[in-house]
């Protein structure tokens, strides 16, 4: 089992849970992968839920960022340091060493779908990876935005272009990009060789459908696109 090291509030109804292995060496995982988590005295419980790793592969602790959205996740704010958790994983095929990602990455995240993207960015920063990376992060408003300080820190450590889009900003004057991530925004932000970059997206289904449409219209080959769908429990 793992032990909870700490539970950190990230934004409205979202918490990052840091877990340390309890008496064994932490299994390696890759940025962009997922694991099944259960809480309690034994791994044999009815409720197991899939979550993306949101921390770097280079950290001692594993981090999962969890939004309250159902029976299991609604209790996350009550989880205490020292409690036992079971982690079954990693699963998933995303791999930063994939040759298709050589020229750079475009990471498209919506809401809590930003979690696996944080794992990718933190891992790249810790490994000194200077490939160009373009991050488009869509969320509802300033209160629901996650990882603000972490993004500031990552900007100085990565070759990163960061675009945040708020659907209904509380302070519209201060918000540069309002509404949704559009095809126009992608085209004007990305470099000329955008068809050679690798695209990874994670977010609510309507957002993912829209991104697939935009990328299709832009002529991005399907082989250059990876998606992670999430349905929270």
Domains held by the chain: number: 2
**20 and 117 assigned to the same domain:** no
Question: Is residue 232 predicted with pLDDT exceeding 50?
Answer: no
Q: Is 104 left (phi over 0), alpha (psi -120 to 50) or beta?
A: left
Given 29, 59, 91, the domain boundary residue is 91
Question: Is residue 228 predicted with pLDDT exceeding 90?
Answer: no
**142 and 162 assigned to the same domain:** yes
Mean pLDDT of all residues in 45-64: 92
Tally of residues, the chain: 233
**Chain segment 61-72, per-residue pLDDT in tens:** 999 999 999 888
Give the domain CATH number at 212. 3.40.50.80
Q: Are 177 and 165 in contact (CB under 8 A)?
A: yes
**104 and 56 assigned to the same domain:** no
Question: Is residue 233 predicted with pLDDT exceeding 60?
Answer: no
**63 and 136 assigned to the same domain:** no
Q: How many Å separate Cα 216 from the centre of its chain?
A: 23
**81 and 111 assigned to the same domain:** no
pLDDT band at 230; cut points 50, 70, 90: low
**194 and 155 assigned to the same domain:** yes
Question: What's the pLDDT score for residue 46?
Answer: 67
Q: Are 174 and 148 in contact (CB under 8 A)?
A: no
**107 and 171 assigned to the same domain:** yes
**pTM (predicted TM-score):** 0.95
**133 and 183 assigned to the same domain:** yes
For residue 186, the enclosing domain spans 99-229
Residue 156, phi then psi, degrees to nearest 5:
-80, -15
**70 and 138 assigned to the same domain:** no
Give the domain CATH number at 29. 2.40.30.10
**Chain segment 120-129, per-residue pLDDT in tens:** 999 999 999 9
Mean of per-residue pLDDT scores for the chain:
95
Given 67, 91, 115, the domain boundary residue is 91
**86 and 104 assigned to the same domain:** no
Given 91, 109, 124, the domain boundary residue is 91
* Those residues with Cβ within 8 angstroms of residue 128's Cβ, 6 or more apart along the chain or in another chain: none
Question: What's the pLDDT score for residue 131?
Answer: 99
**82 and 109 assigned to the same domain:** no
**153 and 198 assigned to the same domain:** yes
Question: Is residue 159 predicted with pLDDT exceeding 80?
Answer: yes
**Chain segment 90-133, per-residue pLDDT in tens:** 999 999 999 999 999 999 999 999 999 999 999 999 999 999 99
Percent of the chain with pLDDT over 70: 97
* Those residues with Cβ within 8 angstroms of residue 43's Cβ, 6 or more apart along the chain or in another chain: 1, 86, 88
């Amino acid at each position: 089992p793992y032990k909870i090291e700490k539970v950190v509030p990230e934004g409205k109804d979202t918490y990052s849970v840091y877990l340390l292995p309890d008496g064994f060496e932490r299994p390696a995982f890759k940025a962009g992968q997922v694991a099944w988590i259960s809480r309690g005295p034994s791994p044999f419980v009815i409720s197991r839920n899939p979550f993306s790793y949101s921390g770097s592969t280079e950290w001692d602790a594993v981090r999962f960022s969890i939004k309250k959205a159902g029976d299991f996740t609604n209790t996350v704010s009550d989880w205490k340091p020292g409690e036992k958790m079971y982690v079954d994983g990693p699963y998933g095929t995303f791999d930063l060493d994939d040759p298709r990602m050589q020229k750079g990455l475009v990471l498209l995240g919506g809401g809590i779908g930003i979690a696996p993207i944080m794992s990718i960015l933190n891992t790249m920063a810790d490994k000194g990876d200077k490939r160009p990376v373009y991050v488009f992060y869509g969320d509802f408003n300033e209160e629901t935005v996650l990882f603000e300080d972490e993004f500031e820190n990552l900007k100085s450590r990565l070759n990163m272009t960061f675009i945040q889009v708020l659907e209904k900003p509380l302070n519209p004057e201060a918000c540069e990009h309002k509404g949704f991530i559009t095809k126009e925004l992608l085209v004007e932000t990305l470099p000329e060789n955008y068809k050679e970059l690798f695209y990874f997206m994670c977010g609510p289904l309507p957002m993912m459908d829209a991104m697939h449409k935009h990328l299709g219209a832009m002529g991005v080959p399907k082989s250059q696109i990876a998606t992670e769908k999430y349905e929270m429990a």
